Amino acid sequence: MPTSRNRPRSRTRTLTPIAALLAALLAAGLFAGCSAPEENDTPASVSPVTIADLPGQKPVVIPAVPQRIVAVGTQWIDTVLAFGVTPVGYLTGQTDPAQKAPWTGDKLNSSTAITSPTDPSAQITQIAKLNPDLILVPSYAPAALRDQLAALAPTIGAVSASSVDPWDKLVTVLGTALREPEKATELINGVNEKYSSVKTANPGLADKTYSLSFMYTPTQISVLGDPNDGAGQIFTSIGLKVSPTVAAERARQGNAPRFTIGLENVPVLDANLVLATGATPQLDQQFRSLPGYSNLAGVKAGAAPALTSDEINALNTPSVLSIPWVLDRLNPALAATAKQS
């Protein structure tokens, strides 16, 4: 497989949202990816490293610099690509595995997309044939599945207790595995600089509020409530706060990172920045016509953009590559948010 360390130094499905990807993983059972650092970058004979403090997992020992990384889920795929490593196989969770997120460009062209997501045994066989030496799975992958993969190669799952792992923790962990801590710091600093530039351009964002929601059935809306969740981090990093009405409903429902509301509870989503969309164009249209939607502060102020599926997934599962991309796309809405009193 070709190597991809000849990279520019920079840095998610028509990505499905987090709930849909989890469903895909549960149904599919498996996925695969690989990576190959440049042969002369780091000798394979370096000392082993141990990745510890992984929630629900034993410490993972990585004996040598990984040459064939299995990456599952867009957060890990993006993180691997950001280090200049090309997965030789991957699963994004999209209905069409060959469809790639716009921020990855052609970086996955030499990778193998796993195209049979309904047969777990077939997926395991495909991964085994790839001969991985490190497997990366998302935080929401079932523990039993992660353990199956660990029988093939060292496997890293969740790196935090959040339902969506913080992007910077993924960068730090992979930097340790690849023996590239300096590159990890460079990547993290790059995204932090993007956050700073957004705040500088829109000083009025400080202490404004946001809501992020997704209508996934004709009767239910999923709402992000945890500002410390990996998906919430992108907003707190530019100075925004969770909507008080969202926070109150989250507390009422038991403080889950994400919770569900009925269609009659659209006013819960009131915020300066309203990021709301449906799983299909029909559901999106239904969402925007629900009673109370037009009265949300962000809607009245022009800070309620119609999101594409790529933008939704960049927000739902933010990564080192997707964050700068989606912030640029949201710039008009962020400007409208900052101008509100």
296 and 250, same structural domain?
A: yes
Distance separating alpha carbons of residues 54 and 138, to the nearest angstrom: 12
What is the DSSP-derived secondary structure letter of residue 316?
A: H
- Identify the domain boundary among 157, 183, 209: 183
306 and 171, same structural domain?
A: no
178 and 121, same structural domain?
A: yes
**Are the C-beta atoms of residues 35 and 62 closer than 8 Å to each other?**
no
27 contacts: CB under 8 Å, gap ≥ 6 = 117, 118
User: At 288, which CATH number?
Assistant: 3.40.50.1980
222 and 163, same structural domain?
A: no
229 and 175, same structural domain?
A: no
Which ranges of 262-321 does DSSP label H, i.e. alpha helix? 281-288, 297-300, 309-316
228 and 144, same structural domain?
A: no
Each residue's pLDDT expressed in tens, for the chain with a length of 341 residues: 333 333 333 333 333 333 344 444 433 333 233 334 444 444 445 789 999 999 989 999 999 999 999 898 899 999 999 999 998 888 876 656 667 789 998 898 888 887 665 666 777 788 888 999 999 998 888 888 888 889 999 999 999 988 889 999 999 999 999 999 999 999 999 999 999 999 999 999 999 999 999 999 999 999 999 998 888 999 999 999 999 999 999 999 999 999 999 999 999 999 999 999 998 999 999 999 999 999 999 999 999 999 988 998 899 999 999 999 999 999 999 999 999 98
- Identify the domain boundary among 164, 183, 202: 183
**Does residue 46 belong to any structural domain of this protein?**
yes
User: 145 lies in which domain range?
Assistant: 18-183
For 117, the token pair is 């997501």
Residue with tokens 């997934």, as numbered in its chain:
313
- Identify the domain boundary among 151, 183, 215: 183
**Does residue 257 belong to any structural domain of this protein?**
yes
**Does residue 28 belong to any structural domain of this protein?**
yes
With the C-alpha atoms ordered 321, 323, 324, 327, is the resulting torsion angle positive or negative?
A: positive
| pTM score, whole prediction | 0.83
Chain Cα centroid distance, residue 134: 19
166 and 224, same structural domain?
A: no
With the C-alpha atoms ordered 34, 35, 39, 44, is the resulting torsion angle positive or negative?
A: negative
